[in-house]
Each structure stands twice: as structure tokens, then as C-alpha cells.
Amino acid sequence: MVTRGFTGRRPPRPEAERLPPGQYLTEDFPVLQLGPTPKIDLARWRFTLREGSKPLKSWSWTEFEALPRTRWKGDIHCVTKWSKFDTAWEGVTIDDLMAAAGIEAPTPYLLAEGYDDYTTNVPVADLAGGKAMVATRYAGAPIPPDHGGPARLLVPHLYFWKSAKWVKGLRFTQKDEAGFWELRGYHMYGDPWREQRFTGD
């Protein structure tokens, strides 16, 4: 349906091609979260892989900082419609994490869990093969608390609510279980290029 009188402000072509449907480019870095930013003490921080409730492997901050590191630069897309180009992150890929733990993924699904009790589901296949990391640095500096520091998941090919902030671990699940937003009508997978914002998209 054409909206009477709407012409729009089209982004230039190269920019438009990098924007998934329904998104606009922002230069700022907006924040999306449920509540206040949690205060996390690095001395007590841990990152844990679990299968159900059973811990498989756990790292302290110092141990985590010693894992192999990878840099990634690219575009991120938030379901609230903003996209940001050329964001630069550094952290530990999920491949390197699994290798360091000496395990294979026990199930094809998992829930990322945050220190704020946030959860979000991601298929393991979307984290493996260099597609995702647990990031600890943004733009060359530790990730600010408002953006999920000390560590956040980074799954840039999915809407950014999948990139859980203040991540404390990954919990492998037998089936694809809905996380916080997925239980509230947001899409189980969340591919921005197919505009999978909500259930049924």
C-alpha cells in the first residue's frame, strides 16, 4: 500500500545494499536492554558451558583472556530497526572455545545466558565455523558495560538480541528452546535479511 504523500529519504545506493529490509543506518551505538546495566566484578566473573544443568567447562576471567583471540569487523542489525556498519570486535570464537574445552557440541541447540538472567536461543550451527564469538573488546577497548561488557555474545548475522549481553555461559539444550524475547513473540531464528522479527515473519 502506497502511503499518501510519503516520499522518504533514500539512503545512497552502496549504503542501501548493505541494509536489510526495514532497517536504517545509525552512526551512534544505541542500547537495547530490559533493565539497568548489571555491575559485574571481574574477580568473580566466570564463563561456563553446560549441558542442561551439568557444567562441561568453566573459565575465570584470567583463563578466558588467555584463550586464542580473533578479530571481526562488520555490520550489526537491531530488531528496533537500526543498523550500524563496520563495528570492530575482538574475542574468542565458539570454535576456539569448544576446542579449548576439548568437546564437541553435545546437542544442536543452545541458550546463551546473561548475568541479568536474560536468555536467547541460537542453533549451534550458527555459532560454529567462525560465525560467532564471545567478544570482550569493542573498537580496540574493553566493551563498555552498557554494550554488554565485560563479555557479550556476538552473532552478527542474526538480529542483535541474539548477541546476549553480559554473557555468563552457553547451555546446550535437546531441542530449540525459546529464550526471553522468543517467549514474548520475537522470532525463534531472527535472520535480518529475511526480516524475521516476530513469530510468523
Partner 1 sequence: MPTPLTWQDATITAAVPETPRVRRLTLAVGWPAPFRAGQHVDVRLTAPDGYQAQRSYSIASSPTTPETIDLLIERLDDGEVSGFFADVAEPGDAIELRGPIGGAFVWDPRMGGPLLLVAGGSGVVPLLSMLRHRAEAAPGVPALLLYSARTAEDVIARDELLRRDAEEPGFRLMLALTQGPSGRRIDAGRIAGALAALGMPAHTFVCGGNPFVSAISDLLVEAGLPARTIRTERFGG
Q: Does 89 bind partner 1 (CB under 8 A)?
A: no
DSSP alpha helix (H) spans, 128-189: none
**177: closest CA among 109, 129, 127?**
109
DSSP 63-132: HHHTS--EEEEEEEE-TTSEEEEEEEEEEEEHHHHHHHHT---SSSEEEEEETTS-EEEEEGGGTTTTT-
Q: Does 16 bind ligand FAD (CB under 6 A)?
A: no
What pairing do the DSSP bridges indicate for beta strands 24-25 and 82-93?
parallel
DSSP 3-state assignment of 36? Answer: coil
For the CB of residue 26, give the shortest distance to ligand FAD in the complex, in Å: 6
Q: Does 80 bind ligand FAD (CB under 6 A)?
A: yes
Window contacting partner 1 (CB under 8 A); options: 27-35, 54-62, 128-136, 168-176:
27-35
Q: Does 43 bind partner 1 (CB under 8 A)?
A: no
Amino acid residing at 35: G
Site string for partner 1, 97-116 (x = CB under 8 A): -------------------x
Cβ closest to ligand FAD, residue 24 vs residue 193: 24
Q: Does 194 bind partner 1 (CB under 8 A)?
A: no
Cβ closest to partner 1, residue 172 vs residue 181: 181
Residue-level length of the chain: 201
Cα radius of gyration rounded to whole Å, the chain? 17
Q: Does 38 bind partner 1 (CB under 8 A)?
A: yes
Q: Which residue has the cell 541460537?
A: 122
For the CB of residue 103, give the shortest distance to ligand FAD in the complex, in Å: 39
Chain residues that interact with partner 1, rule: CB under 8 A? 1-10, 21-22, 24, 26, 28, 30-39, 80-82, 116-117, 146, 180-181, 183-185, 198-201
Chain residues that interact with ligand FAD, rule: CB under 6 A? 24, 26, 80
